[in-house]
């Protein structure tokens, strides 16, 4: 199935269906530690670089990273795993809590250390890695507790991810029991496997070995297309799984299903900085795709695009629904080079750096914001005015979650990725920066624009960010709005007014608030212009 066979509409349907799905994650937990700094000399004690460590960071690894990927995709992970009764185990529990992932189902085993992988980065490149862990199989009370918690978490789950890193959690009997219990309930099971454990995965829905794991398990290194076919078909039959997906790095993904020809999905990645955790992203997306009603081929395409996003970053990472949708837009648009007058969609940190660089060159920064759900002439008018007021126009755009909170479950009509790319293609728009707060105040304070442009339906004191902009000597411009142009008007013309919330820029009533200033701020946040 080529990418174009998975339409933008279908992608949106699947991403929407994934939201809120409970997923059991059973596997090996790890804490990833990164020590990063510069390299200016070679050690006199041996031919190794000396890294001047300036930064220490901690990230979720293994099954914890799978849970984080699911959480970022707006699902509900149920994580069952082992941790040690040590500082690293406490750090892991704290990181999970910070990211909204429940840790009640973690089993503490005082007899084993929490797995920690420490990577040393010098000048942005990994110099070495050292591990502190136990690979001893879980046994006794710890294994019994894992079994009990896994079966409880399975109740009501919509998918299962088995994340096997060979650290002791994935005992064959436990894996077989979970697969059988999930199968009896019609719950799809996706396995990120470890060589040596393949026999335990029999009966799973989808197993996702990489090239080395698949070849090693079958006893034939994959060096050619013929080798790939032999290994893939052999494992598919031996494991009696619904589908087998061999990840091939830069060569993409090979999908094997009984009764169907082998399909190769070319890699979507254009830049690869770090493959750490890419497999976690792949199984997370695949599990949610199957739970949402996708077939293995659709799941493979989604997973390919998700992996392309995370390998372009250093360290373990996760992909949001909007980033995933945006990847498909890039593919649909051919990822054509953008002209000098076209905009760019940037995260706020990157946007702040771009704005600072422009300001150093003497540029005047203009800013406006809104939902921009359905573009109309009112939008064009205020964007042109904002562009005229500065040398660099930055447009803040509400994220999907922000719009749902402000306008109701029926909005937005278009997802953030689509709205942002449309804005970015308009002449005069230089940067598009998403924000998911209810107002753009935090973004305005980070960017510190010289000019803030909003519609004149607001009094200046009620415009979010106006006081801040005036405080650093900037200008606030109220632009006359075009009457009759708003997203609500467009939906009413289309006969959908009954399904659309009343409040919109220039449209219906806003929620009541405690003061005039609050009412103005709420209306400003809800406006599409």
> Mind telling me the catalytic residues?
280
Of 402, 404, 390, 397, the residue nearest 420 (C-alpha): 397
- Bridge-based pairing of strands 243-247 and 76-84 is unpaired
| Nearest-angstrom CA–CA distance, 489 and 508 | 10
Q: 331-356 burial, b for 16+ CB within 10 Å, e for fewer?
A: beeeeeeeeeeebebbebeebbebbe
| Nearest-angstrom CA–CA distance, 299 and 288 | 8
DSSP 70-133: HHHTT-EEEEEEEEESSHHHHHHHHHHHHTT---TTEEEETTSPPEEEEEEEETTEEEEEEEE-
| Nearest-angstrom CA–CA distance, 214 and 262 | 15
CA dist 234 to 231, 237, 243, 255, 346, Å?
5, 5, 12, 13, 45
Helix H or strand E segment including 468? helix 466-471
| Nearest-angstrom CA–CA distance, 380 and 374 | 11
Give the total residue count for the chain. 529
- Residue 247 tokens read as 């990840």
Helix, strand, coil shares, percent, the chain, to 5: 40, 20, 35
| 456: three-class secondary structure by DSSP | coil
CB 170 within 8 A of CB 146: no
CB 217 within 8 A of CB 195: yes
DSSP 395-418: EEEE-HHHHHHHH-TT--SS-HHH
CB 207 within 8 A of CB 199: no
| 144: three-class secondary structure by DSSP | helix
CB 502 within 8 A of CB 508: yes
């Amino acid at each position: 199935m080529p990418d174009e066979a998975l339409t933008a509409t279908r992608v949106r349907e699947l991403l929407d269906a994934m939201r809120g799905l409970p997923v059991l994650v059973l596997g090996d937990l790890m804490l990833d530690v990164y020590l990063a700094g510069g390299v200016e000399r070679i050690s006199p004690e041996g031919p190794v670089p000396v890294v001047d460590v300036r930064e220490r960071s901690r990230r979720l690894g293994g099954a914890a990273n799978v849970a984080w990927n699911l959480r970022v995709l707006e699902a509900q992970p149920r994580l069952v795993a082992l941790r040690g009764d040590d500082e690293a185990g406490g750090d892991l529990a704290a990181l999970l809590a910070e990211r909204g992932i429940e840790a009640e189902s973690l089993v503490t085993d005082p007899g084993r250390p929490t797995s920690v992988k420490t990577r040393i980065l010098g000048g942005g490149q990994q110099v070495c890695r050292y591990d502190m862990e136990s690979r001893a199989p879980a046994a006794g009370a710890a294994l019994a507790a894992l079994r009990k918690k896994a079966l409880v978490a399975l109740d009501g789950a919509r998918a299962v991810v088995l994340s096997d890193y060979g650290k002791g959690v994935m005992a064959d009997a436990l894996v077989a029991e979970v697969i059988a219990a999930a199968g009896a309930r019609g719950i799809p099971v996706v396995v990120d496997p470890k060589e040596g454990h393949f026999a335990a995965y029999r009966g799973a829905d989808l197993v996702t070995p990489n090239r080395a794991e698949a070849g090693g398990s079958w006893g034939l290194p994959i060096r050619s297309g013929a080798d790939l076919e032999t290994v893939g078909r052999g494992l598919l039959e031996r494991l009696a799984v619904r589908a087998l997906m061999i990840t091939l790095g830069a060569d993409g993904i090979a999908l094997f299903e009984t009764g169907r020809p082998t399909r190769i999905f070319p890699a979507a990645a254009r830049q690869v900085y770090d493959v750490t955790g890419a497999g976690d992203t792949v199984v997370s997306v695949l599990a949610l795709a199957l739970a949402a009603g996708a077939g293995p081929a659709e799941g493979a395409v989604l997973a390919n695009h998700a992996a392309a996003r995370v390998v372009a970053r250093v360290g373990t990472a996760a992909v949001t629904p909007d980033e995933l949708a945006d990847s498909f837009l890039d593919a649909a648009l051919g990822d054509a080079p953008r002209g000098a007058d076209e905009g760019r969609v940037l995260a706020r940190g990157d946007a702040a750096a771009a704005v600072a660089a422009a300001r150093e060159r003497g540029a005047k920064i203009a800013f406006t914001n809104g939902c921009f759900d359905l573009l109309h002439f009112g939008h064009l008018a205020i964007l042109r005015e904002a562009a005229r007021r500065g040398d660099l126009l930055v447009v803040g755009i509400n994220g999907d979650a922000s719009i749902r909170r402000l306008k109701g479950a029926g909005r937005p009509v278009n997802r953030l990725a689509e709205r942002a790319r449309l804005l970015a293609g308009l002449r005069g728009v230089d940067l598009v920066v998403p924000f998911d707060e209810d107002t753009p105040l935090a973004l305005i304070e980070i960017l510190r624009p010289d000019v803030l442009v909003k519609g004149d339906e607001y009094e200046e004191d009620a415009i979010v960010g106006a006081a801040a902009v005036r405080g650093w000597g900037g200008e606030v411009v109220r632009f006359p709005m075009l009457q009759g142009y708003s997203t609500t008007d467009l939906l009413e013309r289309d006969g959908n007014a009954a399904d659309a919330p009343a409040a919109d820029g220039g449209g219906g009533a806003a929620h009541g608030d405690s003061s005039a200033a609050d009412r103005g701020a709420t209306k400003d946040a809800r406006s599409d212009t």
